[in-house]
């Protein structure tokens, strides 16, 4: 068999470990040919490809980013579903021209949606979930999340020094446009006092009261962790909005830090390397068994597969009943 691999959407620690897991298993265990498709889905159209062999798959396990490059898939998906069908015919033509038996699509929600469309067109597709945001439907966890939580937690730990020395409120904005997984996990692990998630909403007066009450209890500083997707009345960046609003209302000196892209750059954690390796290996196993149109996923401690039709268009978000939210609230942490 001859398989293609592409990565699409934002880069994320562990993509290269996945490419290596898929590729090495394909070559060494199943005797398959492997090609890498560059820059996401657009690489299929442009036939921008390279042969992946043992040598090119070496030394990339701990490497951040993606050796194949990536691109956002929205524009590609729009063309794909546009009425004239020209785009989809071109994709099918290139797929057959390259002699492919399957394409492994490594990506987040948007990628899995596009992967599903390609699968409906009749191409053999296997999806691998990837995102630091941890919000892909159908899997308990995505690689990249653990690394991002480690980075954000270390940043929060460091901000404690300035917060306590200067008696300031420190507002830290972390990634997570639709889901607050990073804010929840890094906020709890970093001992934040206020954690704000897009899923839970907030009451500004309550946040201010919680911070003032802490100060009255002899804790003159607070750490506020906010996910970038938390809505603000004037559509300001959450970090800007909460910093100004808290300082104005409480009179406490307040500073902001936006962690941004540092959260998804650099080496994957050991946990993410192993998760990516397992998912990659199992993706290849699915191909060898001729099981297409699905995404590999984690269920408990098992690797499983779920149809792309069930994943496409859905998001996995934090619920108010999540154990970390419940335990946090019981310990006096404010969730807004």
By CB under 6 A, name the binding residues for ligand F6P.
10, 131-133, 175-177, 228, 264
In angstroms, what is the minimal distance from the CB of 12 to ligand F6P? Answer: 6
Q: How far is CA 235 from CA 169, 183, 199, in A?
A: 22, 19, 17
Q: Report the b/e string of 242-262 with b at 16+ CB within 10 A.
A: bbebbbebbebebbbbbbeee
Strand pairing class (294-299; 302-307)? antiparallel
CB-closest chain residue to ligand F6P: 10
Q: How far is CA 55 from CA 27, 58, 305, in A?
A: 11, 5, 29
Map residue 146 onto helix, strand or coil. Answer: helix
Of 133 and 285, the one with the shorter C-beta distance to ligand F6P is 133
In angstroms, what is the minimal distance from the CB of 273 to ligand F6P? Answer: 18
Of 8 and 250, the one with the shorter C-beta distance to ligand F6P is 8
Of 182 and 325, the one with the shorter C-beta distance to ligand F6P is 182
Angle at alpha carbon of residue 74, lines to 230 and 292, rounded to 5°: 110
Of 109 and 277, the one with the shorter C-beta distance to ligand F6P is 109
In angstroms, what is the minimal distance from the CB of 160 to ligand F6P? Answer: 24
In angstroms, what is the minimal distance from the CB of 183 to ligand F6P? Answer: 11
Q: Name every residue whose Cβ is closer than 8 Å to that of residue 292 and which is 6 or more positions away in sequence.
A: 102, 119, 124, 125, 126, 286
User: Which residue is catalytic, options 11, 53, 101, 133?
Assistant: 133
Of 132 and 276, the one with the shorter C-beta distance to ligand F6P is 132
In angstroms, what is the minimal distance from the CB of 239 to ligand F6P? Answer: 14
Residue 193 appears among annotated catalytic residues = no
Rounded CA gap, 276 and 264, in Å? 15
In angstroms, what is the minimal distance from the CB of 291 to ligand F6P? Answer: 28
DSSP 8-class letter at 25: I
Tokens of 148: 């991002």
Of 72 and 160, the one with the shorter C-beta distance to ligand F6P is 72
- Residue 189 burial (C-beta neighbours within 10 Å; 0-12, 13-18, 19+): middle
- The residues carrying an active-site annotation are 133
């Amino acid at each position: 068999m001859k398989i293609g691999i592409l990565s699409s959407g934002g880069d994320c620690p562990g993509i290269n470990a996945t490419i290596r897991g898929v590729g090495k298993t394909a070559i060494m265990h199943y005797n398959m040919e492997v090609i890498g498709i560059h820059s996401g889905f657009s690489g299929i159209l442009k036939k921008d490809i390279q042969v992946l062999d043992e040598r090119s798959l070496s030394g990339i396990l701990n490497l951040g980013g993606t050796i194949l490059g990536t691109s956002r898939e929205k524009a590609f998906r729009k063309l794909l579903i546009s009425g004239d069908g020209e785009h989809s015919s071109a994709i099918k033509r290139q797929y057959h021209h390259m002699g492919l038996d399957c394409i492994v699509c490594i990506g987040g929600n948007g990628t899995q949606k596009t992967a599903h469309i390609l699968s409906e067109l009749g191409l053999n597709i296997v999806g691998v979930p990837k995102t630091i945001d941890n919000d892909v439907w159908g899997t308990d966890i995505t690689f990249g999340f653990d690394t991002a939580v480690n980075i954000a937690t270390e940043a929060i730990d460091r901000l404690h020094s300035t917060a306590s020395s200067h008696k300031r409120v420190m507002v830290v904005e972390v990634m997570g446009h639709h889901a607050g997984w990073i804010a929840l996990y890094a906020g709890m692990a970093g001992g934040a006092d206020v954690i704000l998630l897009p899923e839970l909403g907030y009451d500004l007066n309550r946040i201010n009261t919680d911070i003032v009450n802490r100060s009255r209890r002899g804790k003159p500083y607070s750490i506020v962790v906010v996910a970038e997707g938390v809505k603000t009345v004037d559509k300001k960046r959450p970090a800007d909005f909460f910093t100004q609003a808290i300082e104005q209302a409480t009179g406490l000196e307040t500073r902001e830090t936006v962690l941004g892209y540092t959260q998804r750059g650099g080496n994957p954690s050991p946990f993410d390397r192993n998760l990516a390796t397992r998912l990659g290996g199992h993706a290849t196993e699915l191909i060898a068994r001729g099981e297409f149109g699905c995404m590999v996923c984690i269920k408990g401690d098992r690797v499983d597969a779920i149809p792309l039709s069930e994943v496409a268009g859905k998001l996995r978000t934090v619920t108010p009943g999540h154990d970390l939210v419940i335990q946090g609230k019981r310990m006096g942490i404010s969730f807004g």
